[in-house]
Structure 1
Amino acid sequence: MAALPGVTRPTARLWPRRLLIGTCIFLSVAVLATGGVYVYLRWRLGQINKVSLSDLTEDDGSVMNVLLVGSDSRARLSGDLADQAGKDEVSGQRSDTIMVLHVDARAKKAALLSIPRDLYVKIAGSNRSDRINTSFAEGGPQTLIQTVKDNLGIQINHYMEVDFVGFRDIVDAVGGVDVYVPAPARDTFSGLEIKEPGCIRFNGETGLSWVRSRQYEYFESGRWRTDPTSDFGRIQRQQDFIRRMMRKAVSSGLSNPLTLNRLVGIGVKDVTIDSAMSTSDLVRVAKRFRSLDPDTVDMLTLPTTPATIGGASVLKINRDEAQAQIDRLNGVGPPEADDSGVRPSDVRVRVLNGNGKEGAASKAGADLEGAGFIVADKGDADNYSYARTMIRYAPGQRAKADSLARLLPEATVKEDPTLKTVDVTMTVGADYKGVVVKPAADAPPSSEPEAPDTTSPSGIPQPKGAPSEPSC
C-alpha cells in the first residue's frame, strides 16, 4: 500500500486493533460495579488514569457516546512480546483501533461502531486530508476527537484509550474465551494456528493471535484460502470476541470476587479516560448495562467504499448508508427498522461448503457480500452431501434468515437453537447457482429440509468442517 503524500508510512508490523481490550474492561467493570462492592469499586475506579480534553459534548444522561481508541504503543512491552512487536523498531503510537461505544438509556440499548483506520478524512487543525488514524499520531486524542466530529458529525461525550498489555491478563482472569471456528485457520504473522475446527478455548496468548490476525487463512475443500476481507474480517472476529468476553467477564465476575478484583485491577492499570468522566458516570453506565444481554449489543461498522488517492488505497465514507448509524449515535432520526425492514448489512452470515465443489463457500461468500450481507467466516460443512442449500438461523433471527432466503428462493430454512456466533449459517448445496438479482416475493421459504444426497462427489478431498455446531 503506497503512503499518502506528506505522511510517512508506518511499519508493516503494526499491532492490530486493541479496542476489544478497552471495551471489555470498560463494559465488564461497568456491569459489575453494583451491589455490595459499590463502595470498593468507586475507590478503585477513581484510580484510573485521566487526561484533560476540550470539545467534548456534555453528557445529558440520556445518550452517551464514548470514543474508544486502541493505541499500538510498544512502550510497556517486555520479553518475547516486545521482540515480536518490534519494540526497538517502532516508536510513538498510532490509533490502530477506533470505535464509538453508544449507550441509549431511554431505549435501554447499546451499540459499538467500528471506524476503519484507513478512512480518508480531513485532519482537524490542518489543510490536508489523510487516513483517520494519522490524526491521533500527529495530534493525540484532542485532534482525533475533533476529526471524528468534523467529518462524521458524531457527538463525543467521553474518551477512553488503552494499549494491549492487559489483554492476556483479562482473558486468563476469566478462564479463557470460547469461540466457534468453522474451519482450520492460520496466520503466520500473528502466530495463529488452529488445526481442528470446532469450539476453541482461547487463553491469553492464543486469544492475542486470534484478534491480531490480519493475514487470516482458512482451509476449505482441500486447500488454504486467504480471507479477502482483511481488516473488515478482523473487525467481525473482534466484535464477536467482544461479545463473548463481556458474557464471560460478567458471569465470572459476579460469581467470583477474586475474579472481579483482578478484572478491576486490570482496568485501572491499563485504561486512560477523559477527566470529565467521573466515577459517577462509570457507575451510571453500570446501572444501564446490568440487565443488558451482551448478545443484544449491536456491532456496527461504518459503511465505506474503496478508493485510491495519491497512489494509496484508502476508504471513503458511504454517506447515504452511514447516516442512519450516525443519527442513531446522536439520538436523532426515526426509530430502528423492525423485523420486516431488516437490511442486508444487519445480517452476519457464516458460509459453509456443503457440496465439495472447489471454493464453493468462498464464491458464495463473495456473492453475499456483493448483495450487502456481512460474511463473518467461511469453511467446510460437516459433509459434502448437501443436495439443497440450507439456511439455519439463531433463535429470534427468523427475519434475518428470511432476508437472505429472498435471494435464495430454493433454500431450506430452519431454526438452530445452538447458533450463537452469527445470525445465520448458509450451507451451500449442490443446487447453488448464485443469488437472484431481484429478490423473490415474500412467499414463505420452505422449512422442511430435503434429505441430503449421500453420494459424495468423486475426486474431492474429505471435508475438514466442524461437526454440528457446539453451544459456544
Structure 2
Amino acid sequence: MADLGGANRRVYPSSSKKIRTTRAKRLRRSAFIVGFLVLVILLGALGSFVYGQYLFSKVKKVSVSSEHVQVAGQPLNILLIGNNTRTGLSPSEVAAFGSSSQVGGGRADVTMIAHFDPKTKNVTLVSIPRDLFMPIPGTKKLQRVDAALNPTKATGTAENPNQLVKTIEYDLGIPIQHYVELNFDSFQGIVNALGGIKMYFPMPVKDAYSGLNITKPGCITLNGFQALEVVRARHLQYQLPNGTWGYDGLGDLSRTRRDHIFLQVLASQVKASGITNPVKDLSLLKNVLPYLTIDSQFTESEMLSLILTYRHANPAATPTGTLPVAFGPASGYVFDGTNYASIVLPQEPADTTMLKNLIGLAQPKITLSTVNVTVVNGSHSAGVGSTISSGLAGLGFNVSKARAIPPNANPVESVIYYTPGNLAKAEALKATLTGEVIMGQVPSTGYSTPLELLAGDQIAVAVAPVTPSSTKNQPSSSTTATSSTSASSPSTTIASITGATQVNVSQKPQPWDPRACPA
C-alpha cells in the first residue's frame, strides 16, 4: 500500500504570501479537469429530463458571438477553460488565493479543445499550452494565450470569452462551436463526493511546490486534497530503483500529460459509479454549478443529443495531445520592450499535424497563384525576406517585393497576418512553411495584400512541386540555405539564432507517472 507521507499536514498557511501565490497558480490549472468532468456529469444528469432542467437552470450563461454555428451531423469542438479570476471569491478563498484587487483580470490558464466526432462516436482532447505566444485578434500585438480572456476596454471589468474564442479560431484555424468555463476550483469537493479516486503510483514521487509526497509505490485512494497535490505537480521528482532521485524537467508540459491521465481515470470512475443517480449527481454538481459558465447557445436539447450520441464513449481510451512547442529563452522573452518571462513558441508542421490527427482539422485546397502575399523580414538576419520570397514564388504564390523592419523580439516569431475572409489562404501559406510560425487576423485596412508574412528567426519554405497553378501540398522536406539563396532554389531554412528545440510531449505515461490501478 502506498504511503502519502503526511497528507494531513497543513502545507499552505494563509499567512504566507509566497506559498499562497504558488498555491493559486497550481490550483487553477486543475480547473480543466473539473471543466471536462462537469461536462461528463452534466450530460449524464440531463438523462433525466426534468432533473436535467433543474440542473441546467443553475448554470451561468454568457454570450459568445464569435462561435461557429453547429451543423447537424458534423464534428463539434467545445473550448474548455480554467479561468483564474479572483472576482466573486468567498472571504476564505480570498485569504488563500488573493483578491481581485491583488490579482486583477482573468486568464485562461488552462485551455483545452474537446472534439466530438459523430461518425466515430469518439471524443478527443487537445491542450493548448497556456504560455503559447500568439497574436491577439484585430491587432499586431502578441501575448500568451492565457491572457486573451482578460478584460478589454470594450468589455470593461468582464472577462472576454469572445476574444479568447477568436484567438483560437483565427490563430490556429480551429472552429469553436461551444464554450465551457470554470472560474475556480471546486475540485476537492468533486473528488470527495465520488468517495475518492484510486490511482497507481509505480514509484515514489514528490513535489515540494504542490506538497505531493508519495513514499511507496502502490495503488491508493486519493481524497480531494491529495488529488490536488497530484494534478498541481509541475516540479515532479521520482525515485529510481537505485534510490537516486530524477527530475521531470518539462514542468507544465509534463503536468498536462499527467492531468490528461488523471482525467481519464477520473472520468472512468465517474462513469462506473453511475452518474445518472440523482443523489450522487447533486452531491457532485453542488460543488461545481456556482462556478460553471457556458455559452448561451449551448442548449439543453443539444446536450441531450450529445448524451445519446456519445453515451458509449470510453473515457479511459480518449486520445489526448498537447500542441508541440519550442521553449523561449531561459532569461525571459522580450517582445516590443516588455519581458514576458516564460513563453513557448509554435512549431510547424507538428502543430498542424496534431490538429489534423486529433480533431480532423482539414486543410483547404487553394490555388497558390491566387494567393497574394507580402513578405516582411523581421528577423535578425539580412536577406531573409528575399530568400523566403524566392522560395514562395517558386511554389506558385504571388509574392510582392520584400521589405525589412527592425526585429521586435529575440527570437522573432514568424506570423502570417491575414485580413478578414482570408483564413483559408493563410492556412495554405502556413502549410508550405516550417518552424516557429503562427497565423493572426488583422483589420482589413492598411495592408497592400490580403496576406503579410512576418519572417522571423526560425522559418523554412518546404520543397513542393513548382507550378504556377499548383494547389497546396503538405511539406515533404526542407533544405538549408543562406540568405543569398536565388530564385532557382525554392526552399530555405533559416536556423534559429537561439537554437530552440522542439518539444513533443509524449502522451503515454512515463515510468514515474501515476495511472489507473491494475484491474
Give yes or no for TM over 0.5.
Answer: yes
Residue 245 and residue 40 in structure 1: after superposition, are their counterparts in 2 closer, same or farther (change >3 A)?
same
Q: Deviations over 1:355-388 (max 9, x none)?
A: xxxxxxxxxxxxxx989744633349xxxxxxxx
Query: Which residue identity is paired with 1:377?
Result: Q
1:319 corresponding residue in structure 2:
348
Question: AA paired with 2:319?
Answer: D
Distance 1:379 1:269 in 2: 36
Q: Percent identity?
A: 29
Matched, 1:117 2:130: yes
Matched, 1:66 2:74: no
Shift of 1:207: 1.0
Contact 2:106/2:147, CA 8 A, preserved across alignment = no
Structure 1 contact 215–227 (Cα < 8 Å) conserved = yes
C-alpha change, 1:375 and 1:103, in structure 2 (3 Å) is closer
Q: Is this contact kept in 1: 2:106–2:151, CA < 8 A?
A: no
The 1:210/1:79 distance shift into structure 2, 3 A limit, reads farther
* Aligned counterpart for 2:149 among listed residues 121, 136, 158: 136
Match of 1:242 in 2: 263
1:213 aligns with 2:233: yes
Deviation at 1:219, TM superposition (A): 1.9
1:52 paired residue number: 63
* Cross-structure match for 1:456: none
Q: Pick from 212, 215, 222: which aligns with 1:202? A: 222
Identify if the C-alpha distance between structure 1 residues 202 and 214 changes in structure 2 by more than 3 Å, giving closer, same or farther.
same
1:265 paired residue among 277, 282, 286: 286
Would the aligned equivalents of 2:41 and 2:281 in 1 still touch at CA under 8 Å?
no
Q: Unaligned stretches of 5+ in structure 2?
A: 1-20, 153-159, 365-501
State TM-score, norm by structure 2: 0.60
CA change 1:163–1:218 in 2 (3 A) is: farther
Aligned residues of 1:77 and 1:165 also touching (Cα < 8 A): no
- 2:163 aligns to what SS in structure 1? helix
Please give the alpha-carbon distance, in whole angstroms, between the structure 1 residues aligned to 2:223 and 2:35: 17
After superposition, where does 1:69-108 map in structure 2 within 5 Å?
69-78=81-90, 82-87=94-99, 89-108=102-121
1:295 aligns with: 316
Aligned residues: 340
Rate the CA distance shift 1:379–1:68 in 2: closer, same or farther, 3 A. closer
Matched, 1:233 2:233: no
Secondary structure at the aligned position of 2:274 is classed as helix
CA distance in 2, matches of 1:256, 1:372: 37
Q: In structure 1, how many angstroms separate the alpha carbons of the residues matched to 2:285 and 2:96?
A: 28
| Counterpart residue identity of residue 162, structure 2 | Q
Residues 27-50 of structure 1, C-alpha deviation per residue, up to 9 Å, x if partnerless? 22213432xx22211332133100
Listed one character per residue, the Cα deviations across residues 120-151 of structure 1 (whole Å, up to 9, x for unaligned) are 11111332112111111244211111111111
Deviation at 1:269, TM superposition (A): 2.4
TM-score (norm 1): 0.66
Deviates more, 1:38-47 or 1:307-316: 307-316
* RMSD (CA atoms): 2.7
The structure with the largest alpha-carbon Rg is 2
- Residues 32, 250 of structure 1: 8 Å contact kept: no
SS at match of 1:160: strand
Mapped to 2, the partners of 1:138 and 1:93 lie a distance apart of 7
The AA in structure 2 aligned to 1:123 is I
| Alpha-carbon shift at residue 261 of structure 1 (Å) | 2.4
Closer/same/farther in 2, CA of residues 128 and 296 from structure 1, 3 Å limit: same
Matched, 1:329 2:359: yes
Question: In 2, distance between residues paired with 1:240 and 1:26?
Answer: 17
Distance in 2 (CA, whole Å) between partners of 1:372 and 1:269 is 34
| 223 and 84 in structure 1: CA distance in 2 versus 1, 3 angstrom threshold | farther
The residue type paired with residue 518 of structure 2 is: S
Amino acid at match of 2:295: D
- Tell me how far 1:83 sits from its aligned partner: 3.9
Question: Structure 2 vs 1, CA of residues 31 and 255 (structure 1 numbering), >3 Å: closer, same or farther?
Answer: closer
**Aligned AA (1:73):** T
SS of residue matched to 2:25? coil
Q: Give the deviation of 1:286 after TM superposition.
A: 1.5
Change (3 A) 1:167 1:76: farther
1:471 to 1:306, Cα distance in 2 relative to 1, 3 A:
same
Give 1:271 deviation, angstroms.
0.9
**Residues 255 and 281 of structure 1, relative CA distance in 2, 3 Å threshold:** closer
Amino acid at match of 1:297: T
Question: Per the alignment, do residues 291 and 170 of structure 1 end up closer, same or farther by CA in structure 2, a change over 3 Å counting?
Answer: same
